[in-house]
Structure 1
Amino acid sequence: MSVPHGSGRNLSAALRRGLTFWRRSIQARLVVSTVLLGTVVISGMGWFLLRQTEQGLVDARVRSAIAEAANETVEAEKRLASVPGTDADAAQQIALLFEPIVERGTSRGFGVVLVGPITEGPDASEGGTRTSPGLDTAGVPESLRDHFADANRTAWTFTRVHQRLGEGEVDTAGVAVGHLVHLPADRGRYALYFLFPMDQEEETLALVTRALLTAGVLLLVLVAGLTWLVTRQVVTPIRLARRVAERLAAGQLEERLRVRGEDDIARLAQSFNQMAANLQRQIRQLEELSRVQRRFTSDVSHELRTPLTTVRMAGDVLHDARGDFDPVTARAAELLQTELDRFEGLLSDLLEISRFDAGAAVLDVDDVNLVDLAHRIVDMTRPLAEQRGTEVRVLATNAPVLAEADHRRVERILRNLVTNAIDHAESSGVVVYVAGNEHAASVAVRDHGIGLAAGESALVFNRFWRADPARARTSGGTGLGLAISLEDTHLHGGWLQAWGQPGKGAQFRLTLPRHAGGMLRQSPLPLVPTDVSATPAGREQS
């Protein structure tokens, strides 16, 4: 029989919800653990009490059965002793022996079996058998019968007592007690077996069992309730603290816990509120310092625009007239023009960084063909590559690789990656890979230069960081290019990742979602180049 798919999904969802609740709820785990431990303890105590009660009932019943059987045997022997010595009627003496015992057994609740005469020796045998009405002789165990074949001592054993009462039958545990008597008429040995059923003891034991079960269940319910109540008093403030902590983490810095009483929980709430107040004050201070820093950077950048423009105009005049200068002055004019270009680029980058810090950067989304963009960037950087003696190639499919992105920002990312690769390629060539799939588009820039040491791939996107501080920036970079590229990538919801290995070069990979706002799960291009097997350094900036 097959289970419907809907039922299977519902069962799986319910199981997941139950497991989630179990993992997250301390109260549920404490209650269940306490109930399980209480079940083990109560079960052990109940079992011990039942065994003790059962043993006490059985011992009492055995003692009373042996005593009653002995009394009946003594009474029977007295009746036989009162028979005249001239009476040789064995049947009459058997009736005198057996019938009074049967009558008392009927009123007192035990049965009697008379077997005899019993002969001794290797050919021992038993004579006739007489029983109480409705009593089955199978209740006399063979072991007890065999005992009187060659012994005269009284014996007893446990047995099952079978009785026919009206139209039904009763089968209960019981005690069988055997005695030997001698009949004067024929000098024979007769065995009297008394069968005492223990139905009352069984009823008493069942009653005790039900009482213990009821008491155990009620005790477990009480323990579960008390545990739930106690844990609730402890867990509820913890849950409130968790909710307040979540609101604090979400930026609601004014949230506080309500303090009630003077116990440990109240003191914990006071400490929590004090911590939250200190964090709020420090966060406000940091926000104010950050705001001041951003404002300072923005103001400085804007204020430098005017003198830079003036210096730029003067520098352009000197640069255009450098042919009329002596060689030293002409060289100074050229250096001034180069540094002015770099200074202007640095100001532009600082302004862009300040916009990112202020959260004012926005996207102008359009369809961007990364293949065409990669070829255009390679054409733009070709003079720099020829100056370095480096060849830059694009490896991509003929089909366009489209992504919904800000064309200006993606172009800036690729330009920074390619110029950075040319700076570190050391005449070994740079390869730009472009690929895409249904969900993502990716560009990887590979160089075979000095590479990155272990841990440096986590630092390359830091502002003004350089792998070799003594190394000149051939491209005239400001040290902010990769940091701005990372911010541009984050603005698109993409990944910018770096891999490097000393002596084997480096590879930077940009991965963007094909559609704006999409989620990335994997990249169409590998982060580690296919020509390298070991990956001691690699970092995902996402």
Structure 2
Amino acid sequence: MPSSPKKRRRTPRQVVRGVRRRARRAAGGVRRVWRRSLQLRVVTSTMVISIAVVAVLGVFLMQQIIATTLQDRERAARSEAQADRNAVLGYLNRPSGDVSKPSVDSGDGLQRGGDSPLSQAVYALAGRAGAVPRYSVIARNDNQPGEFFVTPNIDPRSIPSGLREEVSKKEAGEDSTHYGDLYYEGRREPVRGMVIGTRLDTSGTMLDSGYEIYHLIPLDKEEETLNSVLRMLVAVGAALVLLLAAIASLVTRQVVTPVRLTRQAAERLAAGRLDERLKVRGEDDLARLATSFNDMAANLALKIHQLEELSHVQRQFVSDVSHELRTPLTTVRMAADLLYDAREDFDPMAARSAELMQNQLNRFESMLADLLEISRYDAGAAELDVDPVDVRDVVLRAVADSEALAERHSTRFDLRLPGEPCMAEMDSRRVERILRNLLFNAIEHGEGRDIVVSVGADRDAVAVAVRDHGVGLKPGEENMVFDRFWRADPSRARTIGGTGLGLAISREDAVLHGGWLQAWGAQGEGSQFRLSLPRVAGAPLRGSPLSLVPPEVEMRRTWRGHMTPVLSPAVADGGNDAD
């Protein structure tokens, strides 16, 4: 049994690149969805704003609840502490023999105790706090540093040194409050709580002034209550945000759905389905939009139908006239040929008239041929006769046909052909006609300067560029040159006698091949026309092997862009003039 091929292990760098590629793809998908979905943007914006508002309100409410809860608890604790201090003063002001020790076990949690008045007072406070103490008490006597008493299980570490210093600095009877951790014996984790400390006001009594008493109030129940309130606020806030998002989605959908339907109808209308209409419901703005859309579609369909009929009539008229003119033109041609051949027997005026008639008949026949060709394109009857040919041969034949005209205008061709064959599937007759039209156009507008003809090829396409150094084109004229009977300068006389349809037919020929015919031009720098065709007939054309802008122009512009910032205005202007 043959062994299965081992999978090639990917390197860490390849893994990282793959992750980045997937991340970029996912981010691109999210951006596309974000840009295309109005409803998603509205709902997301509503959720973000709602979360911000709910968060701010929640924080404000929580702060108010916490402040109110702690204030109420502190007020109650201060009241109880004041009552306890009065009770302690009563115990401390009695003779020790008048106070009986409470009947409690030794395991009640009191520490360092005996029958002293301070111990008896703390016993009494333990009874006031109840079976489950609401608070704990630590009592001290500064005159006897080792004497302090605490109620059950409280650890003296609960009183920070900073609080003791603050209590010692204040007047007797004034409270000092501290929020912190309370430590209990037998319990690992501390409890958040509040400590209220004061020095007893023993003025007017027989006692010294060294007594301090600290009430330690645990806030665990309040903390549990606040945590419950916080969880409730979070749950209510989340529910409110989701509810607002649902409301925003519902409201947005009521607006977006008609707009989406209108967009889909507009796309179908643009695709040629002129019978597309929207359903009108109600009398609101969206209903009026649908009505206006339907009226626009109806008027557009009517106008298109009228234009189609007019265009059909025009095409039929051009075709009929072109065919009908062939018969009288043939008769006139025969008579003109006889007159032209016998012009040497005529007087000079008549001979010149025969020559002019011959030239104009030639132009008229050319125009009729172009009109017939245009009518075939308009009727969709043009077809290709495709064969694999070498583009260089087609270019050489077109140049050969243009040599005589170029010599009359003192123009020379500069051919830049590759050394290897440039094979492509094309209708050589139509491509040769395109090139002849481009060469004739370059000769007429090249002002006698050299015309550069370049051929390029890559794996998918071939291209031919015809470059002249004449007057050039104004901005925006790159596409207008292919319009029928268009002339850049109407006052400029035709030196070749073209029909005005050559470039229009050339573009139709290029489109019929699935290619491009493009123009570039700038005043004072001449113009360039580029024909790009796919190597395989019917294949899509994605690019051209030749640049539309001449390389020397591109290089000069790049050089100017780099050099102008470092040159003075006068030098820069002088350089431009030199160009």
TM-score normalised by L of structure 2: 0.84
Decide whether aligned partners of structure 1 residues 506 and 152 sit closer, same or farther in structure 2, where only a CA change above 3 A counts: closer
Does the alignment pair 1:349 with 2:370? yes
Decide whether aligned partners of structure 1 residues 100 and 392 sit closer, same or farther in structure 2, where only a CA change above 3 A counts: same
User: Matched residues in 2 for 1:52 and 1:451: separation?
Assistant: 78
How far apart are 1:246 and its partner, in Å? 0.4
2:244 aligned to which of 214, 223, 226: 223
User: Matched residues in 2 for 1:74 and 1:401: separation?
Assistant: 114
2:136 aligned to which of 111, 123, 135: 111
Contact kept in structure 1, 2:91 and 2:117, CA below 8 Å: no
Amino acid at match of 1:375: L
Q: What corresponds to 2:49 in structure 1?
A: 37
Amino acid at match of 2:149: R
Contact kept in structure 2, 1:144 and 1:178, CA below 8 Å: no
2:77 aligned to which of 61, 65, 78: 65
Contact kept in structure 2, 1:140 and 1:176, CA below 8 Å: no
User: Matched residues in 2 for 1:380 and 1:148: separation?
Assistant: 115
User: Matched residues in 1 for 2:198 and 2:279: separation?
Assistant: 81
Q: What corresponds to 2:213 in structure 1?
A: 192
Cα deviations across residues 23-75 of structure 1 (Å, max 9, x unaligned)? 11111111111111111111111111111111111111111111111112222
Moved more, 379-388 or 480-489: 379-388
Amino acid at match of 1:263: D
CA RMSD in angstroms, aligned pairs only? 2.8
Amino acid at match of 1:132: T
User: Matched residues in 2 for 1:469 and 1:149: separation?
Assistant: 108
Q: 1:437-456, aligned counterparts within 5 Å?
A: 437-456=458-477
Contact kept in structure 2, 1:452 and 1:499, CA below 8 Å: yes
Cα deviations across residues 204-242 of structure 1 (Å, max 9, x unaligned)? 111111111111011111111111111011101111111
Does the alignment pair 1:47 with 2:71? no
User: Matched residues in 1 for 2:16 and 2:527: separation?
Assistant: 54
Decide whether aligned partners of structure 1 residues 504 and 171 sit closer, same or farther in structure 2, where only a CA change above 3 A counts: closer
User: Matched residues in 2 for 1:335 and 1:169: separation?
Assistant: 118
Q: What corresponds to 2:178 in structure 1?
A: 158
Cα deviations across residues 272-316 of structure 1 (Å, max 9, x unaligned)? 111111111111111111111111111111111111112112222
Contact kept in structure 2, 1:162 and 1:169, CA below 8 Å: no
Amino acid at match of 2:323: H
Amino acid at match of 1:180: L
Decide whether aligned partners of structure 1 residues 387 and 94 sit closer, same or farther in structure 2, where only a CA change above 3 A counts: closer
How far apart are 1:435 and its partner, in Å? 2.1
Moved more, 407-416 or 149-158: 149-158
Cα deviations across residues 67-87 of structure 1 (Å, max 9, x unaligned)? 111112222333444547899
Q: What corresponds to 1:303 in structure 2?
A: 324
Q: Higher strand share goes to which structure?
A: 1
Amino acid at match of 2:52: V
Structure 2 counterpart SS, 1:235:
helix
Structure 1 counterpart SS, 2:34:
helix
Decide whether aligned partners of structure 1 residues 143 and 499 sit closer, same or farther in structure 2, where only a CA change above 3 A counts: closer
Q: 1:191-210, aligned counterparts within 5 Å?
A: 191-210=212-231
How far apart are 1:334 and its partner, in Å? 2.2
Moved more, 160-169 or 273-282: 160-169
Contact kept in structure 2, 1:65 and 1:175, CA below 8 Å: no
Q: What corresponds to 2:6 in structure 1?
A: none
Decide whether aligned partners of structure 1 residues 210 and 165 sit closer, same or farther in structure 2, where only a CA change above 3 A counts: farther
Decide whether aligned partners of structure 1 residues 133 and 169 sit closer, same or farther in structure 2, where only a CA change above 3 A counts: farther
TM-score normalised by L of structure 1: 0.90
User: Matched residues in 1 for 2:407 and 2:180: separation?
Assistant: 110
Decide whether aligned partners of structure 1 residues 303 and 180 sit closer, same or farther in structure 2, where only a CA change above 3 A counts: same
How far apart are 1:103 and its partner, in Å? 2.9
How far apart are 1:318 and its partner, in Å? 2.2
Contact kept in structure 2, 1:179 and 1:191, CA below 8 Å: yes
Decide whether aligned partners of structure 1 residues 46 and 246 sit closer, same or farther in structure 2, where only a CA change above 3 A counts: same
How far apart are 1:521 and its partner, in Å? 4.0
Contact kept in structure 2, 1:421 and 1:446, CA below 8 Å: yes
Does the alignment pair 1:173 with 2:193? yes
Contact kept in structure 1, 2:473 and 2:522, CA below 8 Å: yes
User: Matched residues in 1 for 2:452 and 2:512: separation?
Assistant: 26
Amino acid at match of 1:480: L
Amino acid at match of 2:65: T
How far apart are 1:134 and its partner, in Å? 1.2
Decide whether aligned partners of structure 1 residues 446 and 144 sit closer, same or farther in structure 2, where only a CA change above 3 A counts: closer
Decide whether aligned partners of structure 1 residues 268 and 186 sit closer, same or farther in structure 2, where only a CA change above 3 A counts: closer
Cα deviations across residues 311-344 of structure 1 (Å, max 9, x unaligned)? 1122222223334333332332222222111111
Amino acid at match of 2:247: L
Structure 1: gaps of 5 or more residues: 120-124, 536-542
Decide whether aligned partners of structure 1 residues 164 and 530 sit closer, same or farther in structure 2, where only a CA change above 3 A counts: closer
Does the alignment pair 1:16 with 2:28? yes
How far apart are 1:485 and its partner, in Å? 0.8
Q: 1:357-376, aligned counterparts within 5 Å?
A: 357-376=378-397
Contact kept in structure 1, 2:96 and 2:116, CA below 8 Å: no
Moved more, 447-456 or 44-53: 447-456
How far apart are 1:196 and its partner, in Å? 1.1
Amino acid at match of 1:311: V
User: Matched residues in 1 for 2:26 and 2:514: separation?
Assistant: 34
User: Matched residues in 1 for 2:20 and 2:474: separation?
Assistant: 52
Q: What corresponds to 1:139 in structure 2?
A: 158
Does the alignment pair 1:97 with 2:117? no
Q: 1:326-337, aligned counterparts within 5 Å?
A: 326-337=347-358
Amino acid at match of 1:91: D
Decide whether aligned partners of structure 1 residues 366 and 173 sit closer, same or farther in structure 2, where only a CA change above 3 A counts: farther
Amino acid at match of 2:443: I
Contact kept in structure 2, 1:112 and 1:193, CA below 8 Å: yes
Cα deviations across residues 487-514 of structure 1 (Å, max 9, x unaligned)? 1112222222223344443322222222
Moved more, 350-359 or 237-246: 350-359
How far apart are 1:133 and its partner, in Å? 2.3
User: Matched residues in 2 for 1:202 and 1:531: separation?
Assistant: 80
Contact kept in structure 2, 1:181 and 1:189, CA below 8 Å: no
Decide whether aligned partners of structure 1 residues 173 and 233 sit closer, same or farther in structure 2, where only a CA change above 3 A counts: same
Contact kept in structure 2, 1:369 and 1:403, CA below 8 Å: yes
Q: What corresponds to 1:26 in structure 2?
A: 38
Contact kept in structure 2, 1:461 and 1:482, CA below 8 Å: yes
Decide whether aligned partners of structure 1 residues 171 and 515 sit closer, same or farther in structure 2, where only a CA change above 3 A counts: same
User: Matched residues in 2 for 1:451 and 1:154: separation?
Assistant: 99
Q: What corresponds to 2:567 in structure 1?
A: none
How far apart are 1:9 and its partner, in Å? 4.5
Contact kept in structure 2, 1:259 and 1:269, CA below 8 Å: yes
Contact kept in structure 2, 1:433 and 1:444, CA below 8 Å: yes
Decide whether aligned partners of structure 1 residues 262 and 345 sit closer, same or farther in structure 2, where only a CA change above 3 A counts: same
Structure 1 counterpart SS, 2:545:
coil
Contact kept in structure 2, 1:62 and 1:175, CA below 8 Å: no
Contact kept in structure 2, 1:244 and 1:257, CA below 8 Å: yes
Decide whether aligned partners of structure 1 residues 393 and 181 sit closer, same or farther in structure 2, where only a CA change above 3 A counts: closer
Cα deviations across residues 164-210 of structure 1 (Å, max 9, x unaligned)? 36565542222323341659887563222111111121111111111
Structure 1 counterpart SS, 2:200:
strand
